[in-house]
Structure 1
């Protein structure tokens, strides 16, 4: 494999620049005045900050970029599901591949080196999106690591035949099993879906990643499943292998109840991934006064010890008509929504799309980060100030995947501050 030396790199929040020597796809040494390996490319970082590759812990590439085809007429979750279901009937492999590759290109250029993708699996879409993402997992492996989740957007019991398709996807090599509890018609079926998803996780030895509790409050008990999921996770010995996406209704519970639920999630080792762009866009649609903008209670999740990441979710479709493929944009939005500010908070939010996200999706600790021995998935940022990374979302000067520079960006800005001579009339 090729070798690389990053010269004069500011390793995350380190006060002084250092060299990073990379060989055979891994960080070999970090130190001063290192000699490049034979034949190595040398990249002068000029004191710029280097962070680990960004991680998109929850993304739907198969249904991205559909908003220009058919937008959401009401902005509600129900219409987002309905509109997308209608469009899925016309999905082809070429269509899904073209949109998914466009999104992956956005992500890589913005410094993402790992994506957990959730393609829809149901009797309408079949396995089209899933199979395309499996193909892209191989063909894009030199640019980005893809984890592919078998995801039942339309529910399981509400869409007969879905369980069989999920098993086919797991047999074909899905990296995780997904769930969408609130798509079921009753609380009883929501419970049945949780049981099935966790059973499949245990049977196939894969993690489970469920969309759950995605509402403004818990008025409908289908959106109050966090404690049930935590209990069933413990019962199956799946601690550390279950994730909840959205979980906005946690914030709608009374404080004492919320503390109990969060403690249960922490004890069960269930992670939570807020998806702020989607949560903001779809939330509060039934309110006509003091419109709510639901988000999982991030600071309380931290304080309870719940592993928490952040992700983009959807890009320019009926669920979220925005997005550039930059997960730092989602992280900054989360900070704004969750009342997080100051260097300590913002550093922790940055971890939600790096180190904490890596833990959520199960990357081995020794393989991730700017540390000796780790896989060399790195981003060189156009800044020498670590604490400006989230606030400024600087240009990704270079993106390194497994020790190879896969993306380069240049940036130049000039302010003309020379005095202006004014002529008198």
Structure 2
């Protein structure tokens, strides 16, 4: 007997009327009209069942700290960095854990069950590292939290940062991070990429580097990252996050750069909400969007994921852990409003970041983990349009969050009594 059958699902690949059988926390069957007994049955009523959302780039150590110790009045990246520098000495581990746990609650409710979070290692106390390692263990039963050792102030620029980063890795942090464009010189930035990639190779770890988060078209550390990834044989284990300078680069250089990224096996992670907010701040008009060249990267065969980056912190006064909001913004900023483009944006917050993070058992297939989200939508396009309600969230085949369908009652003569914003489908 199965533990659960989720009946009458629509899947992201377009299959309809599919039943998903679950046993011992894993998917045991995916087929129409599953003939099997089960301890429990849930009717998805034709709604979209998807693997959980995955956030490939986040900063949980600063999440929900908005207004501490003051508000970012300019809303700029540099004031945010300055503000974080003011906040770091005031951080208390208990409060940091409390905010991170609250954010994980939000994430679960939104069907976000895997997050890669950067954690600042430039504080020699490693207070945030210890706090998030504690959070990682507390949420492990229901959320995969992958931590990146991130030298926010520059691994060469900040005294002791490299030693702190090594200490963080020895404590069990999962990924090596960096921020080459924030080093004092371009040469130092390139040198930091070499050092950090070799360190990751030494530890056998993945790399995720804040790379070229700038409007400067001459900020080209992604090229160096691709070179060292190839040199060290780390294909599939390295990601460049932000890459916003690519938005300002000339087309000739990009025509050379894209094949280098693809050949090296480096993934790209854009952060649409934050890139559109923080970039182009020195422009009058026309104003640059700032987000990296997502369609061109995809066309070149580069894996592209989206991240939320910030929620209610020194850099961003918005957010609610909703990866469909991220996909929605990414679709607009990249002008990916064709059907294939919209579906690629859905992949950028689900399947693609799952591959970048190396998540085991992700997907809807036999023997995959029974981690699923049922959305109030009938396909990925509608899910993004509506930022669809998460009707059910399952972890290991157990419902861990649910929400009522989004509807509104009408009192209009001759009109329906209720609306739910879904398109009417003809038979």
Q: TM-score, normalised by structure 1?
A: 0.93
26-35 or 158-167: which moved more? 26-35
Structure 1 residues 37 and 202: CA distance shift in structure 2, 3 A = farther
Q: How many residues align?
A: 412
* 1:379 matched residue in structure 2: 373
Answer yes or no: is the 8 Å Cα contact 1:278–1:313 preserved in 2: yes
The CA deviation string for residues 380-425 of structure 1, in whole angstroms up to 9 with x for no partner, is 01123443111111100001112211111112432233259xxxxx
**CA displacement 1:224-249 (0-9 Å, x = unmatched):** 11111111111111111110110010
SS of structure 1 residue aligned to 2:399: strand
1:415 aligns with 2:410: yes
Residue pair 1:51, 1:370 contacting (<8 A) in 2 also:
yes
The answer for the alignment partner of 1:397 in structure 2 is 391
Aligned residue for 2:114? 114
* Aligned equivalents of 2:376, 2:110: Cα separation in 1: 12
Counterpart contact for 2:376–2:383, Cα < 8 Å = no
Matched, 1:205 2:207: no
**Where in structure 2 are there 5+ consecutive unaligned residues?**
416-427
Query: What corresponds to 1:165 in structure 2?
Result: 164
1:32 paired residue number: 32
The CA distance in 1 between the partners of 2:307 and 2:149, in whole Å, is 18
CA distance in 2, matches of 1:305, 1:15: 26
Alignment of 1:144-223 (within 5 A): 144-218=143-217, 221=218, 223=219
Q: Residue 345 in 1 paired to residue 369 in 2?
A: no
Paired residue secondary structure (1:73):
coil
Determine the C-alpha separation between the residues in 2 that align with 1:188 and 1:384.
Answer: 51
Runs (4 or more) in structure 1 with deviation over 6 Å come to: none
SS for the counterpart of 2:100 is helix
Structure 1 residues without counterparts, runs of 5 or longer: 421-425
Q: CA deviation at 1:36?
A: 5.5
How far is 1:262 from its partner?
Answer: 1.1
Structure 2 equivalent of residue 232 of structure 1: 228
Higher alpha-carbon deviation: 49-58 or 280-289: 280-289
* 150-159 or 68-77, larger mean C-alpha shift: 68-77
Whether 2:51 is the aligned partner of 1:57: answer no
Residue 9 (str. 1) matches residue 4 (str. 2)? no
Q: How much does 1:289 deviate?
A: 2.7
1:104 equivalent in alignment to 2:104: yes
C-alpha separation in 2, matches of 1:123 and 1:51: 39
CA RMSD of aligned residues (A): 1.6
